[in-house]
Amino acid sequence: MMEDRLKQQIRELLSERNAVLLAHNYMRDEVQEIADLTGDSLGLSIEAARTDADVIVFCGVHFMAESAAILSPGKKVLLPRLDAGCPMADMVTADKLVALKAEHPGVPVVTYVNSSAAVKAVSDICCTSANAVKVVNSLPDKEIIFVPDRNLGKFVAARSDKNFYYWDGYCPTHERLRPEAVQKLKSEHPDALFVCHPECNPAVVALADHACSTSGMYEWCRKSPAKKIIIGTEAGILYKLKQDNPDKEFILASPALVCPNMKLTSLEDIRDALLSMKPIVSVPEEIRVPAKQALDRMLAIPR
Ligand code: 13P
Ligand code: SF4
C-alpha cells in the first residue's frame, strides 16, 4: 500500500539522519501513528530539550518548532510545513508587548508558549496549558501580565489570587465552540461527562466537568468512570483517545473543532522534509538566549 511504503521510507530516513519525529496530539492520525513521540506542548518541549538526536522533525505548528530550536541550539529543527502557523500566536508582537510592559513597570509577564520566539524573549516566564496555574502561582508578585490567550488567562486567574492584565488573544478553533452547542449535547446525552481545553471560552469552561491540556485529557478520560465523554478540543485528540479507550464513546463537542494549521502536515511533507532537510526553523542568538531563559524558568517548575 502507498501509505505503508511512505511510512517505511520515513522510518528509514529518520534512522539515516539520526532524526526524531515529534508530533502534537492534534496532528493527522497517520502522522501521530508514525511519530516517535506524541504529546502536548509541555511534553514536546521537554523531549525537544533532552533528545540526543541530531535532527528534530517537528510535526506541529511554527511556534512549537521554534521552541525546539530555542531549547536545542545544536540540532537541526525541521518543520515540514512552514505555513503551519498559529493565529493566536500572531495576535501579539514583541513591540506591542514591550509597550504594555511600559504601562505596568515591574509587573512580570507570563507568556503562553503559543507565541513567537521574539515575544518569549521579552517575557519573564513561559507556561503551557498543562502548567499555567503552577507557573503563575510560583511567582511572588501580586500582579501579572498574561499573554496572549485571554481564555487561558481567565482560567488561571480563577485559580490564583493575583491580579491579571490580559492580552486579548484567543484560539479561533476553540473559540468556535459555543456554550449552546455544549448544552444541547449535554441534554441529548445526560449520562456523558464534558471535558474541554482551557483555550475554550470561559462560558464553555464553566460547563465542563474538567478542563486541562491535551495530554491531561488522555489521563483524565482514561481514569474517568464515565462511558461517554463529550470532548471540547481539536478533533485530532480523538485518534489516541479512541485507541486507548475502546470501551468508551467520545463525542466531539462541535464539528468546527478542527485547526486548519494542525491538519496541514502530510506524510509526503515529512518525507520531503527529511529528503531535502528543509524547511529549517532557527532563531537568531539575540532572541534565542532570552527566550530560552523564559522557557527554562518554566521547565524548572515540576510538571
Ligand atoms: P496543549 O497540547 O499544550 O494542550 O496545547 C493545545 C494547543 O492549542 C496547541 O496549539
Ligand atoms: Fe493555534 Fe488554536 Fe491551532 Fe492550537 S488549535 S495551533 S492555539 S489555532
Say if 6 falls within a structural domain.
yes
Is there a single domain that holds both residue 6 and residue 80? yes
Q: Give the pLDDT score at 45.
A: 83
How many residues in total does the chain contain?
Answer: 303
Q: How many domains does the chain have?
A: 3
Give the distance (Å) from ligand 1 centre to CA of residue 2: 31
ipTM of the complex: 0.97
Q: Are residues 108 and 149 in the same domain?
A: yes
| Residue 147 Cα to ligand 2 middle (Å) | 15
- Hey, whose CA ends up nearest to atom 10 of ligand 1? 114
d(CA 177, CA 202): 11
| Residue 303 reports pLDDT greater than 80 | no
Measured from the CB, is residue 129 less than 6 Å from ligand 2? no
Q: What is the CATH number of the domain that holds 228?
A: 3.40.50.10800
Residue 101 inside a domain? The answer is yes
User: Is residue 269 lining ligand 1, measured as CB closer than 6 Å?
Assistant: no
Same domain (yes/no): 105, 238: no
Q: Which region holds residue 160: left if phi is over 0, alpha if psi is between -120 and 50, else beta?
A: beta
Rounded to the nearest integer, the mean pLDDT of the chain is 97
| Cβ of 149 below 6 Å from ligand 1 | no
Looking at the fold, whether 193 and 155 belong to one and the same domain comes out as no
Residues 73 and 100 in one domain: no
User: 1-23: per-residue pLDDT in tens?
Assistant: 688 999 999 999 999 999 999 99
β-bridge partners, 249? 228
Determine, yes or no, domain membership for 181. Answer: yes
pLDDT at 30 over 80: yes
Expressed as residue numbers, the domain containing 101 is 89-170+289-299
- Examine the pLDDT at 175 and tell me if it is beyond 90: yes
Same domain, 166 and 293: yes
Condensed to tens digits (0 to 9), the pLDDT of residues 127-139 reads: 999 999 999 999 9
- Tell me, yes or no, whether 177 and 245 share the same domain: yes
Residue 237 covered by a domain: yes
Q: What is the mean pLDDT of residues 155-178?
A: 98
pTM assigned to the model:
0.96
79 and 124 together in one domain: no
pLDDT tens, residue by residue, 205-240: 999 999 999 999 999 999 999 999 999 999 999 999
The predicted structure's pLDDT at residue 46: 87
Instruction: For residues 8 and 136, state if they share a domain.
Output: no
* Ligand 2 lined by 59 (C-beta under 6 Å): no
Residues 127 and 53 both lie in one domain: no
Same domain for 295 and 148, yes or no, is yes
Classify residue 257: in a domain, yes or no.
Answer: no
- Alpha-helical regions (H) of 59-164: 62-71, 94-103, 117-121, 132-138, 150-157
Residue 86 alpha carbon, nearest atom of ligand 1: 10
Same domain, 102 and 244: no
User: How much is the pLDDT for 48?
Assistant: 86
> Is the separation of the CB atoms in 31 and 207 below 8 Å?
no
**What are 199's three cell numbers?**
483555550
